[in-house]
């Protein structure tokens, strides 16, 4: 299990692992069961930095640090998937052509425009919080977005023969329960630590999982299934949904 965890850590994040790992494709393909734990690590790093130095700089500065930190710690893996997916979806081509576009390393104007709006909305959401609230939100966002990743992998058919195929073939009901348990434990723990309403975080968690599922169901219609790029893109969109949801729930004053 430790080897599986570390192999996944080197793939899903840029966090260095000491020593040399003996690569095993079988163990690597099971790594998504630790997706929420990887989120706890990456989100924990960013939250700790903000907690330690939050008073030294204004909230708008930390909003930029959060976005840059998320991109760096994930190696832009999810963003690459988001841009490729958007290029394919908005190409207005048939299914086979869309799948070809997913493999194209070039980025189209539609994806660039969407990503610009994506960054503005994400930055605006985080800039609206106090540093303490930023630390909490980025922590739970990283946990939840990766947790929903396993739900998507498990729930929808895979199309193609790229890297994500191994993840899909090894997804199981037990793995889904395990990742759900991690996500619930980590988010509730974060809420308790930051004195955030447990009812609110449960609502956000439920809405985020529903959001990811709906987006995945929609994207499946475009491709006849999902690919590894789609997995990353959906997780990235969920990473935007969470801070927006936290902001709106606080403004509306739910419970």
Ordered mean pLDDT values, 10 residues apiece, the chain (255 residues): 90 87 86 97 97 92 96 90 86 77 74 91 96 97 97 93 85 97 98 95 97 96 90 96 95 73
> Considering the domain boundaries, does residue 154 fall inside one?
yes
CA atoms within 13 A of residue 80's CA, in its CB half-sphere: 13
Residue 112 to residues 91, 106, 107, 116, 188: CA-CA distances in angstroms? 13, 11, 7, 6, 35
Is 164:153 a contact under the CB 8 Å cutoff? yes
Q: Would you say how long the chain is, in residues?
A: 255
Query: SS3 of 226, please?
Result: strand
Residue range of the domain that includes 177: 2-10+31-252
Residues 6+ apart with CB under 8 A from 3: 21, 22, 24, 27
> Considering the domain boundaries, does residue 81 fall inside one?
yes
The alpha carbon dihedral of 209, 211, 216, 217 has a sign of positive
Position of tokens 């960013």? 46
> Considering the domain boundaries, does residue 79 fall inside one?
yes
> Considering the domain boundaries, does residue 17 fall inside one?
no
Residues 6+ apart with CB under 8 A from 145: 39, 78, 208, 235, 236, 238, 239, 242
Give the rounded distance of the alpha carbon of 78 from its chain centre: 7
> Considering the domain boundaries, does residue 25 fall inside one?
no
> pTM, whole model, 2 decimals?
0.93
> Considering the domain boundaries, does residue 241 fall inside one?
yes
> Considering the domain boundaries, does residue 184 fall inside one?
yes
How many domains, in total, are found in the chain?
1
Which of 103-140 are b and which e, b meaning 16 or more Cβ less than 10 Å from the residue's Cβ? eeeeebeebeebbeebeeebbebbbbbebbbbbbbbbb
Which of 44-59 are b and which e, b meaning 16 or more Cβ less than 10 Å from the residue's Cβ? bbbbebbbeebeeeeb
> Considering the domain boundaries, does residue 21 fall inside one?
no
């Amino acid at each position: 299990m430790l080897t599986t965890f570390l192999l996944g850590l080197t793939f899903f994040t840029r966090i260095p692992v000491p020593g040399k790992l003996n690569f095993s494709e079988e163990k690597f393909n099971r790594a998504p069961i630790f997706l929420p734990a990887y989120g706890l690590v990456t989100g924990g790093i960013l939250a700790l930095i903000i907690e330690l130095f939050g008073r030294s700089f204004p909230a708008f500065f930390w909003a930029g640090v959060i976005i840059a930190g998320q991109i760096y710690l994930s190696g832009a893996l999810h963003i690459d998937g988001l841009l490729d997916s958007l290029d394919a979806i908005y190409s207005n081509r048939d299914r086979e052509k869309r799948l070809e576009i997913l493999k194209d390393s070039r980025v189209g104007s539609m994806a660039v425009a969407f990503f610009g709006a994506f960054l503005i909305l994400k930055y605006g959401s985080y800039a609206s919080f106090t540093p303490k609230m930023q630390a909490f939100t980025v922590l739970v966002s990283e946990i939840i977005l990766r947790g929903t990743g396993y739900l998507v992998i498990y729930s929808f058919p895979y199309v193609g023969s790229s890297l994500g195929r191994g993840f899909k073939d090894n997804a199981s009901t037990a793995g889904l329960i395990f990742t759900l348990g991690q996500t619930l434990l980590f988010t509730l723990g974060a809420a308790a630590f930051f004195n955030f309403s447990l009812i609110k975080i449960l609502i956000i968690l439920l809405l985020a999982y529903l959001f990811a599922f709906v987006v995945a169901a929609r994207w499946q219609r475009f491709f006849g299934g999902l690919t590894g790029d789609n997995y990353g893109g959906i997780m990235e969109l969920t990473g935007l949904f969470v801070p927006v949801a936290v902001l709106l729930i606080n403004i509306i004053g739910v419970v």
